[in-house]
Amino acid sequence: MSFCSFDRPAWLESLILTRHFRRLYAWVLHWADSRYAVMALFLLAVAESSFFPIPPDVLLLALCLSVPLSSFRYALLCTAGSIVGGMLGYMIGYGFWQWTAEFFFRWIPGFTPPVFAHMQELFHQYDFWFVFLAGFTPIPYKIITIGAGVFHLNFVIFIIASLVSRGLRFTLIAAMVYRYGDVARVYIDQNFNKLTIVFAVLLVGGFVAIRYLM
């Protein structure tokens, strides 16, 4: 079953996506209690920038809360993984788009040929700022990394914009946990289920934004 089916009402599609992402969210979060947590964080950051739907913020936050003094180290690792993944996404778009387009159009919600065509205009008009916006907001970053490759965005501009936006995003999370670690931990423990729902809704909102705003 494709999550991009346009035969469903929008509200039903969003509900299915929310349930789907909550399951993935739980799977990602379970790595926080693993001895491979740090490696999982890096690999998740790589995957999310090129094909995986759940952003690394989930695991980054959990690790920062578990060891607040290492928050900035985790943020740096997450940024590095995201840049590597961004390069992978760029390479997919640049050299392999003709073989992978069907997969991305079918399985990434809101990612349609009309949206993709409009992205080309945005890349040409805003290049750095378009990449920066996607890297710092819930807009699915993988769509931008792949699109940058397909439309041959200047690679240096792409890397700089990715480094700045992803670095700021992950460092902000680390700084908040480092400053408010104990308070944040108590709040999350008390409101975990509600926060999970909010996160999933925000994530779905990023895909909806791609579909309706572009």
- Measured over the CA atoms of residue 120, residue 82, residue 66 and residue 33, the dihedral's sign is positive
Write down the pLDDT at residue 28: 73
Which element (helix H / strand E) includes 106? helix 97-107
Average pLDDT, the chain: 77
Write down the pLDDT at residue 53: 75
Q: What are the tokens at 194?
A: 């509600």
Write down the pLDDT at residue 35: 87
Which element (helix H / strand E) includes 91? helix 71-95
Q: Which stretches of the chain drop beneath a pLDDT of 50?
A: 1-17, 213
Write down the pLDDT at residue 207: 52
Q: Are 110 and 2 in contact (CB under 8 A)?
A: no
Q: Are 145 and 32 in contact (CB under 8 A)?
A: no
Nearest to 56 by CA among 33, 40, 34: 40
Write down the pLDDT at residue 112: 73
Q: What are the tokens at 173?
A: 């999370």
Write down the pLDDT at residue 172: 87
Q: Are 110 and 13 in contact (CB under 8 A)?
A: no
